[in-house]
């Protein structure tokens, strides 16, 4: 618990940085002004304009005292710069796919993109609150449901359904250019064996079977436009979602209890009205609400695209990850509200940034060993576990032997087993977003003289919210909307 400074004394950017740190630190605000709990104050001392490495080295300039923790305004602004990707939102630079290059990212420029530095700053803030409390009561929000200390989400982009031999030919050409002749030969043999079958659907079924074995329920992102020759040549829309093969995959994914969300086509970045059209088209096909979206090729205009997603009534986005490297593009391993750095206001959409993708090393670093891809995914998962955060990974179900990835399915199953063995809370993204929105809303109404805590969460939660002590022992159940 913590008592916050008056909000009217902070700018919008500073309020966003403060709210984000408090949320990630799991220290719910106290509404009772008379409660004797730790107070957070904005330090008047100005450390200048420190860069990220200096902030990290100086423990984010957090000052501890008797019942008080102080943080400078510049730190709150720096937190917002990272978590809102302010530099990217204001950049006019684009790569050949219309994306802001990774080099525009502040974390990449500071060579710390593989560390969720804002999540770690929140861990430091929580430690400062505990150390400053003395005999004052301390209550923290439990990090994840069911007593789990971290979370993981497995997601899949359905990029390929029809015309699979074309993708096999393109992949064999890619492997040949890399002198991966043995993999190319194995691909051709697998493709010949798959003639007369549907290796794409078989790949989907194997992913679902492997996840079912480990009790994993995943989220699937589906393209929902009408393909043309131009979109196929660009690697954008390649299938009609109403086609029998696609419909069969959607039906099987739904029967396994998985979430189906939209994979926004390239054109949605330029024609925002298509977001609502594609969302409604997918809802008609599935008979379910479509709550989430991820842009195909991660193609977006940071901030502006998320505003258009919110206008189309999506609940969350999960586009903010690097296409050419794995890591934490927003410096967090968690779910956070999106901040519009141009208008300096919250957008009203939650972001679930991905940190790992299967083909990143292969496509951009030339590393074709799926074991190496999975090792990097597992290493990032351990970092997420350290900060009690959320790991979000992307696995494409078309990574099958017949389409050019003979060792990939086994690598994915190994990744599943290793991560699940670490006991994360695992669920579809919509469930994780709902939980985090409810946890973020927790407020402490009153702390009685004998230490009892009256807390509530004015946001719907289907899973019970709890408060715990610094050792992780349960204290109170939080009343939330049902």
Q: Is residue 469 in some structural domain? A: yes
Q: Is residue 2 in some structural domain? A: no
Which two structure tokens, joined as six digits, stand for 65?
Answer: 């005292």
Q: Quote the domain boundaries for residue 391.
A: 147-431
Rounded CA gap, 310 and 307, in Å?
A: 5
Give the mean model confidence (pLDDT) for residues 439-468: 90
Residues 330 and 183 in one domain: yes
- Which of 409, 431, 453 terminates a domain? The answer is 431
Give the mean model confidence (pLDDT) for residues 78-96: 97
Chain segment 145-177, per-residue pLDDT in tens:
999 999 999 999 999 999 999 999 999 999 999
- pLDDT category, 461, cuts 50, 70, 90? confident
Residues 247 and 282 in one domain: yes
The DSSP bridge partners found for residue 156 are 220
- pLDDT category, 72, cuts 50, 70, 90? very high
| Strand 356-357, strand 345-351: pairing | unpaired
- Give pLDDT, residue 45: 80
Residues 340 and 414 in one domain: yes
Residues 189 and 318 in one domain: yes
Rounded CA gap, 191 and 236, in Å?
A: 23
Q: Is residue 84 in some structural domain? A: yes
Residues 239 and 160 in one domain: yes
The DSSP bridge partners found for residue 477 are 466
- Give pLDDT, residue 49: 83
Rounded CA gap, 81 and 230, in Å?
A: 37
Which two structure tokens, joined as six digits, stand for 331?
Answer: 């410096």
> Which residues, 6+ apart, have CB-to-CB distance to 449 below 8 Å?
none
Q: Is residue 134 in some structural domain? A: yes
Residues 75 and 188 in one domain: no
Quick check: 81 and 75 in contact, CB under 8 A? no
Residues 419 and 348 in one domain: yes
- Give pLDDT, residue 106: 96
Which two structure tokens, joined as six digits, stand for 25?
Answer: 């630190």
Residues of the chain with pLDDT > 90, as a percent, come to: 92
For the cut 80, the answer to whether the pLDDT of residue 227 exceeds it is yes
Q: Is residue 353 in some structural domain? A: yes
Question: Which of 261, 269, 308, 264 is CA-nearest to residue 285?
Answer: 261
Q: If you average pLDDT over every residue of the chain, what do you get?
A: 95
Residues 152 and 137 in one domain: no
Q: Is residue 176 in some structural domain? A: yes
Quick check: 238 and 231 in contact, CB under 8 A? yes
Residues 83 and 154 in one domain: no
Rounded CA gap, 283 and 261, in Å?
A: 9
- pLDDT category, 247, cuts 50, 70, 90? very high
Quick check: 66 and 265 in contact, CB under 8 A? no
3-state secondary structure of 156: strand
Q: Domain tally for the chain?
A: 2
For the cut 80, the answer to whether the pLDDT of residue 127 exceeds it is yes
Residues 271 and 122 in one domain: no
Residues 252 and 153 in one domain: yes
Q: Is residue 243 in some structural domain? A: yes
176: CATH: 3.20.20.370
Give the mean model confidence (pLDDT) for residues 295-322: 97
Quick check: 358 and 373 in contact, CB under 8 A? yes
Determine phi and psi for 438, rounding to 5 degrees. Answer: -65, -45
- Give pLDDT, residue 482: 65
Determine phi and psi for 274, rounding to 5 degrees. Answer: -70, -25
- Which of 394, 411, 431 terminates a domain? The answer is 431
Rounded CA gap, 478 and 318, in Å?
A: 28
Residues 174 and 136 in one domain: no
* Angle (deg, nearest 10), helices 408-420 and 370-386: 20
Q: Is residue 437 in some structural domain? A: no
For the cut 80, the answer to whether the pLDDT of residue 481 exceeds it is no
């Amino acid at each position: 618990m913590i008592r916050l400074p008056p909000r009217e004394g902070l700018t919008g950017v500073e309020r966003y940085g403060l709210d984000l740190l408090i949320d990630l630190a799991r220290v719910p605000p106290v509404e009772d002004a008379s409660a004797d709990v730790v107070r957070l104050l904005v330090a008047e001392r100005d450390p200048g304009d420190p860069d990220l490495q200096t902030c990290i080295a100086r423990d984010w300039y957090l000052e501890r005292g008797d019942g008080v923790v102080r943080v400078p305004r510049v730190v709150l602004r720096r937190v917002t710069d990272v978590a809102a990707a302010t530099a990217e939102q204001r950049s006019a630079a684009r790569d050949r796919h219309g994306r802001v290059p990774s080099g525009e990212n502040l974390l990449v420029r500071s060579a710390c993109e593989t560390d969720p530095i804002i999540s770690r700053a929140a861990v430091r803030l929580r430690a400062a609150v505990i150390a400053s409390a003395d005999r004052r009561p301390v209550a923290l929000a439990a990090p994840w449901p069911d007593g789990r200390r971290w979370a993981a989400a497995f997601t899949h982009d359905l990029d390929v359904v029809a015309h699979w031999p074309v993708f096999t030919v393109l992949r064999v050409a890619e492997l040949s250019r890399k002198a991966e002749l043995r993999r190319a030969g194995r691909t051709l043999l697998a493709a010949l064996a798959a003639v007369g079958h549907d290796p794409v659907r078989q790949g989907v079924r194997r992913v679902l079977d492997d996840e079912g074995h480990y009790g994993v329920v995943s989220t699937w992102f589906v393209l929902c436009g009408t393909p043309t020759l131009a979109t196929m040549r660009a690697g954008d829309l390649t299938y009609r979602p109403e086609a029998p093969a696609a419909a069969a995959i959607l039906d099987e994914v739904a029967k396994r209890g998985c979430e189906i969300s939209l994979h926004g086509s390239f054109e949605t970045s330029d024609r925002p009205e298509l977001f609502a059209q594609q969302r409604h088209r997918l809802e008609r096909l599935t008979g379910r609400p479509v709550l989430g979206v991820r842009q195909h090729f991660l193609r977006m205009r940071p901030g502006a695209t998320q505003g258009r997603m919110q206008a189309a009534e999506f609940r969350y986005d999960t586009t903010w990850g690097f296409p050419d490297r794995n890591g934490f593009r927003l410096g967090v391993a968690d779910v956070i509200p999106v901040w519009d750095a141009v208008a300096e206001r919250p957008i009203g959409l939650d972001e679930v940034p991905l940190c790992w993708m299967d083909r990143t090393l292969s496509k951009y670093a030339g590393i074709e060993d799926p074991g190496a891809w999975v090792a990097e995914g597992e290493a990032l998962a351990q970092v997420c576990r350290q900060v009690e955060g959320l790991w979000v990974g992307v696995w494409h179900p078309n990574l099958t032997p017949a389409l050019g990835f003979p060792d990939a399915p086994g690598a994915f199953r190994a990744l599943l087993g290793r991560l699940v063995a670490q006991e994360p809370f695992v669920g579809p993204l919509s469930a994780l977003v709902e939980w985090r929105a409810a946890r973020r809303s927790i407020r402490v109404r009153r702390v009685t003289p004998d230490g009892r805590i009256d807390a509530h969460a004015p946001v719907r939660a289907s899973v019970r919210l709890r408060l715990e002590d610094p050792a992780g022992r349960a204290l109170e159940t939080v009343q939330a909307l049902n």
